[in-house]
Amino acid sequence: MGIGMKSSKDWRRSLLLRAMRLNSIGIAALLAIVAPVNSETLSVKNANATPKLAESSSLNTIAEYAKGNIHGDNAKLNQVDQYVDESSKNAAIATHNQKLQNNNPILSQLDRYAYEGSEDQALDIQINRNVGLTELDKTSTLDWAFDTSDVEADQATTQVSQVTSVSQLVDVRPTDWAFTALQSLVEQYGCIAGYPDRSFRGNLVLTRFEFAAGLNACLDRINELAVTATSNLVAKEDFVALEKLQAEFGVEIAAIKGRVDGLETRTRKLETERFSFTSKLFGLAYFNYSVLSNADDLLRETGFRSIPAGANVRSAPLTQRVKNPNATSSGLAWLTLGSSFTGKDLLLTQLAMGQGISPANYLTSATSTINSTGIPFTDAGAYLGPGAPVVLRELAYEFPVLGNGRLAIGPRINWFRFFDANPFTFFLTGTSSLNSIAGTLTNDVRRGAGAVLVSPLSPKLDLRLGYLAEGNEYSTQNLAAFNSASSVEEGLFGGTNSLTVELTYKPDPVFNFRIMYSRANSRARTQFLDNQVPVTSPVKLVSGAPINGLADDGFGGGLEDAQSNIFQVNFDWLINRRVGIFGRYGFADTRLNAQIDSRSGNINTQSFQFGFTVLDLFKRGAQGTLSFVMPFNYTKGRDYLVSGAGDGGIQYELEGVYFYPVTNNIAIVPNVQVIFNANNFSSNPTIAVFNIRTQFSF
């Protein structure tokens, strides 16, 4: 693509070669130059003659411009000069933005030609997406797994149908700028075909190879006419111009023939060796090294009260002091199988395997699921514990509905694949800790059974709606499986579940604002996990998000299921080509239903996050991110917490992450977290968690 710093003639020659990337109408227009209506014809007997091309022909004009003999007197060519000049990325971005504002078809066409058919390429430059590592896991659509183009249209491109009149092409109008040219090629030479649905699709973009293939077809047709004709059918200018075009595209035509010769062999090899025609396999693997400092004598809550239940006395939660844990090394791998049966649907199957527990897990106060203080997301051993088996992490089927909408159904849908997205806190390239990659007050249904609908309401507004019953994959022996949906006692509607709606407003390609509401039901259980160590509680407790702790009735007594109303706003804004900012704020009101009704009450929690990202930091594709988080602050109902409230302090976390891509498939990601008032104890020391992750995508 690059034109670089060349002389005027070289630059304009490069521009002419670029212009050969024409769409289907463009090829018709260029070839039509060879067939002027009133031109002198050439008989078969005089076929060896070499008449001169008319001085006024369009080919001469193009040639003169390519040689640099036309300067500054053509406003359109000057405009092409301005926008096609690749020495300035900002020009393409400005063109794109102006096109969006004014709906200018000329600028749209300039974008299309200057960027060889992909007007989104300018935006790709602007947002610096590292496709090799990020596109694999960040989206719920087919984009990363399969070509999402229309299957019927793709099949039609290989099944063309010859037409005898331009009127047979349903999408060609006499007002089209290349109508006369197309009419000549169809009706006089018969070398332009339509698709089976009698369409021409003149706006499709062609490569030079595709142009050469079309040119070769017209050459073959004209040669056929020259051999079989008994009258003067071919214009002298046609032969001259076609000879020039044949010489210009001789290399491409030869290359096409060579490719076709080898295509059958390669196709047979693919058909016999490919493991599936409907599926693709993707993998992500992580090596983690983690170390924690300054954690000696840190206070944590154990999940029990100092006076046993039944005494009808409020008592403080029991605490213990921990020692600084040793450094650890762990691994985690996800294998994702994407299967499509129509080209528009997607069956997603993901297996997880990994062993290891981050050192920070042994510092946090007790809760039914892994607490998140200072824990890198990929250092959690897939939530499986030291003796972890291979587990089914995701199983969902996604298909199109309601026009451009998509519906996902299944027994284990990843909630985070659809909700609470933010490109700067995406765990592969942005923030790393469990408290920073997503909102901390979202419900405990990390994976669940149910359905999620994604529906674009307009170009600037998206709606997401989903109901999931808890179907989390993580558990340990002799404990509740945290899988309400598959339990005959709880099922789809009787256990932990959530109903979530999220609206995304995107007034500009570089700005997104999301507002989310979730109604969650949290199951009260008599068993829970204390940092992956089995602990049995004497009463039914409510735990996990959005309270991020363990709650009883305030006196050590049991609870029934709790209901939460969770609200969150989330935004990301790419201020310029390299710097972006992001933020979240969440609030949750949880109703605790005590077995002794008079002890029922509410817990209110809030959280916030703010940070910024610098793209291309020290290397193209690299990314540096700084995030400041208040993960959970209790504004009401601290007395109900048997673990999590601490002494009334507020925990804060400052995290810095640097994503360094070694190749498109390998990255090194160091990160450091500084945690203040850990476990909400203002008396706890400030601790630091260091983690370095080596990340592989394949």
What CATH number does the domain containing 314 carry? Answer: 2.40.160.10
| Residue 177, domain member (yes or no) | no
| Residue 173, domain member (yes or no) | no
Look up tokens 């018969």; give the residue: 190
Residues 644 and 672 in one domain: yes
CB-based contacts of 355: which residues, under 8 Å, 6+ apart?
330, 331, 381, 384, 385, 386, 387, 388
Residues 449 and 554 in one domain: yes
Residues 647 and 678 in one domain: yes
pLDDT tier at 538, thresholds 50, 70, 90: confident
Cα separation, 469 vs 447, in Å, equals 8
| Residue 184, domain member (yes or no) | no
Q: Which of 252, 273, 294 is the last residue of a domain?
A: 273
Mean pLDDT over residues 282-305, rounded? 90
Beta-bridge partners for 193: 162
Cα separation, 473 vs 483, in Å, equals 7
- Rounded to two decimals, the pTM is 0.66
Look up tokens 């609200």; give the residue: 567
| Residue 183, domain member (yes or no) | no
| Residue 187, domain member (yes or no) | no
Taking the mean position of all CA atoms in its chain, how far away is CA 64?
Answer: 45
Percent of the chain with pLDDT over 70: 64
Residues 308 and 234 in one domain: no
Mean pLDDT over residues 624-638, rounded? 95
pLDDT tier at 252, thresholds 50, 70, 90: low
Cα separation, 690 vs 359, in Å, equals 10
C-alpha pair distances (Å), 452 with each of 201, 281, 399, 415, 466? 35, 24, 11, 9, 4
Residues 263 and 361 in one domain: no
Residues 603 and 655 in one domain: yes
Range of the domain at 308: 279-697
Residues 260 and 316 in one domain: no
568 has a pLDDT exceeding 70: yes
Cα separation, 632 vs 252, in Å, equals 63
Cα separation, 86 vs 2, in Å, equals 6
- pLDDT tens, 551-560? 999 988 889 9
| Residue 23, domain member (yes or no) | yes
| Residue 152, domain member (yes or no) | no
Residues 543 and 645 in one domain: yes
157 has a pLDDT exceeding 50: no
Residues 251 and 400 in one domain: no
pLDDT for position 134: 38
SS3 annotation, 497-548:
EEEEEEEEEEEECCEEEEEEEEEEEECCEEEEEECCEEEEEEEEEEEECCCC
Q: Which of 222, 243, 273 is the last residue of a domain?
A: 273
- Collapsed DSSP state (helix, strand, coil) of residue 216: helix
Mean pLDDT over residues 229-234, rounded? 52
- Which of 667, 664, 652, 553 shows the shortest CA–CA distance to 610? 652
124 has a pLDDT exceeding 50: no
pLDDT for position 162: 60
* Domain count for the chain: 2
523 has a pLDDT exceeding 70: yes
11 has a pLDDT exceeding 80: no
Residues 337 and 434 in one domain: yes
- Is-contact 8 16, C-beta < 8 A? no
Q: Which of 273, 308, 331 is the last residue of a domain?
A: 273
Most confident of 159-163, 169-173, 265-269, 365-369: 169-173
10 has a pLDDT exceeding 50: no
Mean pLDDT over residues 269-278, rounded? 72
Residues 355 and 237 in one domain: no
Cα separation, 29 vs 418, in Å, equals 46
| Residue 145, domain member (yes or no) | no
Cα separation, 316 vs 84, in Å, equals 71
- Is-contact 469 493, C-beta < 8 A? yes
Residues 665 and 681 in one domain: yes
Cα separation, 81 vs 76, in Å, equals 9
CB count in 10 Å sphere of residue 680: 26
pLDDT tier at 172, thresholds 50, 70, 90: confident
CA angle 209, 214, 220 (to 5 degrees): 120
Pick from 146-150, 226-230, 359-363, 475-479: least confident: 146-150
Pick from 234-248, 366-380, 538-552: least confident: 234-248
